[in-house]
Every structure is written in structure tokens, then in C-alpha cells.
Amino acid sequence: HSSFPTNHWHHLVPPSLFLLLLLVACTMGCLQSIACKPRIRRENIVVYEVSASIDQCPTIIEENSPIVLRYKTPYFRASAGVVMPPVPRNETWVVGWIQACTQMEFYNTYGDIGMSSWELPELREGRVKAISDSDGVSYPWYGNTTETVTLTGPTSKPSRLTVSMNDNFYPSVTWAVPISNSNTPMLTHITRDQSFITWLVAMNSVTKERIVLQTVRWRMRVDIAVDPDMPLGSRASLVGRPYQEQPHILNYQEPIPPNALGRPNANDAQVLMWRPRRGAPLVVIPPK
């Protein structure tokens, strides 16, 4: 026998407790190692102060130009505060807004001659459920100023951030039939009805893993009657409801369809058709 006192503590610890202590020690070591780094999951992300609204003002009609009527709708606005958990080393997460158009009717009627129509052919024919409404640069995000925040790991503590976006329509519609050489005003009616889904999303920039945090549905409608025989400045008037229906912040999350995330966006995919009362339809402006 050795004359030294026993300092091998595990001789004094029952085997079952020794195994438990070993397990705890290994687990804690593992949590700090890169092998099982903490994952960012939905339950660790806090979303607070989500708001979505459409300004309570009517669409404004502008009759300054002898060539086109312009109208400006109120703005749709969305914003949210988000608290993200600490981001692990070698990970980058972006939190922001993604928007897609799910339905579009946009008709400009020229008496009994015909109508011009902005259309999204893939959406119209039901080949896709939604088309990206990105700015055309920041895919899949709606924009890259106030719309997104990027977090690059490692961050040691939670990050509090705010993301916001707004959207409205401000198009031009020709007074004259778009395919004619005439400048004679013939426009009699403008009707537009467009629906969108807007998602608040956290996305891993490397793996492209997406966590949908909030889903908003909204719709914008415009109905304008035009008397082309009146002098410029007093031809057009708003008909139908003056204010827009407020957006719906859903209490469940809708999945993001693939076409909502990449090219083409709605602006590049849209086609201006001329649909005469008699005869074959004509493409006036093809997709980009």
C-alpha cells in the first residue's frame, strides 16, 4: 500500500454519479465547442411591435400632362421590432421584409375601342402562386435600406433591431389609345386590384435557411372614371370606396413560394397588352 492519502476522487464517488458528472461535464464542453454550436431557432427569436397599415387617404389623381394621367395611391407601411439571439461564429443572418404579388388586375378602358392591360402572364395562367416584388437588386428582399438588418457572428448577446418598408402605386396611363398614332384622349376608365403577401423573415446568408416570423396580406384597389371630352384638369374622378381596406397581420405563417424569392420580379415580368373589342390582342410592352 502507498502511504499517500487517496486523491483519486472517483474512487469515492458511486459509479452512477460518476457517469452523470462525466455526462454533464462533456455536455457543457460540447456546448462551448464548435461541434454543436447553438442553433438559431424560431423559439429563440422575439418579434414585438409588428404594425401594418395603409395610409387613411384617398388616391390622388394628377392631370398635369397632355400625354398621361398619373395617380398616386396611399402607402402601405409595415414595421417590426425583432430581438435576435446571439449569432454563432461563421454565421451571418439577415432579418427583413420579403414581398410578393399574388394577384393583379390592371385595366385601362378606352370607350368601346378596347382596353390596355398590365398583366403577369405566369400568375394569370396559374403557373405560379406569387411573383417576387423585390426592388430587382436585393433579391429576395423588398429593399436594402430600412427593409433589412444584417447580423454577422459572433455576437455575444441578443440584438434588438427594427425593419420597415413601404409601397404604393404611382403609374402613368396614356390618355390616347397606346397603339395608335393619335393623341386624341379616349381613356374612359381605370381599374386596378392587386394583392400582396409580405413576410418578415430571418435568413441564414450562407445556408439560405429561412425562418418566417410574420405574414401580412394586403390589397390595393383603384377605380377611376374618366370623361375624355372634358378639358385637361377636370377629366378624372375617383369612384368606389375612397379608403383602402387595412392589411391583415395573420396569426399563422404562410410558406413562401419559390417564385417569391428570385427573378423575375413583378416589374420585369409584367406585360402591357392591348385587347381590342374586335381583333387579336397585341403585346405593347413585352417583359424585360
**pLDDT tens digits for range 165-216:** 999 999 999 999 998 889 999 999 999 999 999 999 999 999 999 999 999 9
Question: In 99-132, which positions are buried (b, 16+ CB within 10 angstroms) versus exposed (e)?
Answer: bbbbebebbbbbeeebbbbbbbebbeeeebbbbb
Q: What's the whole-model pTM score? A: 0.85
d(CA 84, CA 75): 28
d(CA 106, CA 192): 4
Query: Would you say how long the chain is, in residues?
Result: 288
Q: What pLDDT shows up at residue 267?
A: 92
For 226, half-sphere exposure in the C-beta direction (CA atoms, 13 angstrom radius) is: 29
Q: What pLDDT shows up at residue 17?
A: 53
d(CA 199, CA 212): 7
Q: What pLDDT shows up at residue 37?
A: 58
In single-letter form, the type of residue at position 39 comes to R
Bridge partners for 138 per DSSP: none
d(CA 270, CA 288): 8
Q: What pLDDT shows up at residue 71?
A: 98
d(CA 60, CA 73): 6
- Signed CA dihedral, 145, 148, 151, 156: sign only: positive
The residue whose grid cell reads 385595366 is 107
Positions of the chain with pLDDT lower than 70, given as ranges: 1-37
Radius of gyration of the chain (CA): 28
Q: What pLDDT shows up at residue 39?
A: 85
Check residue 10 and report its DSSP letter: G
Tell me if 154 sits within 8 A of 88, measured CB to CB.
yes
Residue 17: φ, ψ to 5°: -70, -35
- Signed CA dihedral, 41, 42, 46, 50: sign only: positive
d(CA 142, CA 120): 18
The residue whose grid cell reads 398583366 is 119
